[in-house]
Structure 1
């Protein structure tokens, strides 16, 4: 998704140039790169507030679509999968170029249509447990967002954005996740049970953390 966003509107930029620009930015000194970016990009709190506000606004507009937790999960999983649309489109063009299909390789609009079809298939695949395990970084935040969204009077808080990212980075790949009480309650709640799905124990108090770590290292 981020790759596709690099296409400036009204400017003809090919994929090779974008790759070179991205590689140059990756290798540049962070202090130099930071000077080229607007200061507000480094305001993490402001960014999380903006994202939470936007999500709450969109969820309010589509609240009538949520008739159950299962429906919320399906919608959020589809949304998470759609984030891969740009990557899928880029890979399609790369593969087309490698196969000598130059027309397809240069067809941005056509590749995005392919990307949409691929992400639709990913969303469908994420209904299966084996794929939920394989694509935890997509499934975990989708499930947590769905759990918040399915509660009629609950709204996302800015800190939820950070919490869900931390959970997505830990639950599918670690044996233990140390967090706070509210996030633990959400992760381990009846409809969610992400700790059980990924076999990752969650602790929220110092005593729980000490007991958990002690068991893991013995």
Structure 2
């Protein structure tokens, strides 16, 4: 068993254990609300009840509140004090059970691999995505394995497995306590935001409808996915034939272009959007932003869209803020239906949804 196979086995084991739990995704605003409630600094009845029912659901084995790389990165912006970052992390440990979605690049690659495998071998030959996408908080940014070239292969593998298992059990509060000001995890989205707004302004009059904006965004999104899909197909061919194909640069470029076209036309078909849901949801959110021609991207939108994407694709509830709630539900794109996710921005609505999930049992 390779370290990659070991990692995959642990994730599948975790995913299977979580199947009986409904997933409630909280954006950073809600984690702060609940942190302040747990500390006694927020005392309104709705917040107290929300925290109570979430705790009750988690303790009863019926709920879990997973995090994502975007929550991890936003947590690093909080002051590293007992009442802020450390208190938030302790509450995350309690309600998330140490569970995070895998990083966005790995998630998109996993969906693409599963989609292509199911097309080739049938749905019965692939694991359900809910068994594949969950990991532990230490691996929210992706898997990282130590390598020591001077060690014999079997010793290096044993070291990698032990290291993986050690971090697999690590609590978020232990991880963030040593992050100082967290600057090493922050991404500067200021330049990206400025460039995106400039490009959108330049091409705003070319958009004729939301559907047109969706098509434009999808064509851009498959540029990256095409490379991933081409690598996956080459890997599949190598497994079937025992020989990995050697391609010239021209052949590789043709393969990538073919895969971009394949993914583009697949996602254009509504029946495929459940399988390629991450790509579809990301495209839909960005299309909604583009079609609202007066709306400008803000730096924090990139994290907000990350929250929305993992919540809408693989969670049962999404507790967020009003503007994002409006954006993801106002276009009639039926994003809530992708995984039956219910969205709330008010505390009262959030409480109603959580109570409903517990009542559904």
Deviation for aligned residue 1:97:
4.9
- Residues 1:27 and 2:145 are matched in the alignment: yes
Deviation for aligned residue 1:174:
1.3
CA 214–43 in structure 1, closer or farther in 2 if over 3 Å, else same: same
Find 1:128's aligned residue among 254, 269, 293: 269
Is 2:229–2:259's contact at 8 Å kept on the other side of the alignment?
yes
Matched with 1:165 is 306
Deviation for aligned residue 1:64:
3.5
The count of corresponding residues between Structure 1 and Structure 2 is: 185
CA distance in 1, matches of 2:336, 2:282: 13
Is 2:278–2:313's contact at 8 Å kept on the other side of the alignment?
yes
Matched with 1:42 is 185
Matched with 2:133 is none
Q: What value does the CA root-mean-square deviation take over the aligned residues?
A: 2.7
Which structure 2 segments of 5+ residues have no match?
1-104, 107-142, 147-162, 168-181
1:18-67 CA-to-partner distances (Å, cap 9, x unmatched) read xxxxxxx821389xxxxxxxx986333x1x22322232232233333311
Matched with 2:200 is 59
Matched with 2:221 is 80
Matched with 2:317 is 176
Is 1:90–1:111's contact at 8 Å kept on the other side of the alignment?
no
CA 64–105 in structure 1, closer or farther in 2 if over 3 Å, else same: farther
Deviation for aligned residue 1:109:
3.6
CA distance in 2, matches of 1:154, 1:214: 34
Deviation for aligned residue 1:188:
1.1
CA 195–97 in structure 1, closer or farther in 2 if over 3 Å, else same: closer
Larger radius of gyration: 2
1:134-159 CA-to-partner distances (Å, cap 9, x unmatched) read 11111111101001101222221111
Is 1:93–1:106's contact at 8 Å kept on the other side of the alignment?
no
Matched with 1:89 is 230
TM-score scaled by structure 1? 0.74
CA 97–211 in structure 1, closer or farther in 2 if over 3 Å, else same: closer
More helix by share: 1
Q: What does 1:104-123 align with in structure 2 at a 5 Å threshold?
A: 104-123=245-264
TM-score scaled by structure 2? 0.46
Deviation for aligned residue 1:96:
5.2
Higher relative contact order (CA 8 A, sep 6+): 2
Is 1:93–1:111's contact at 8 Å kept on the other side of the alignment?
no
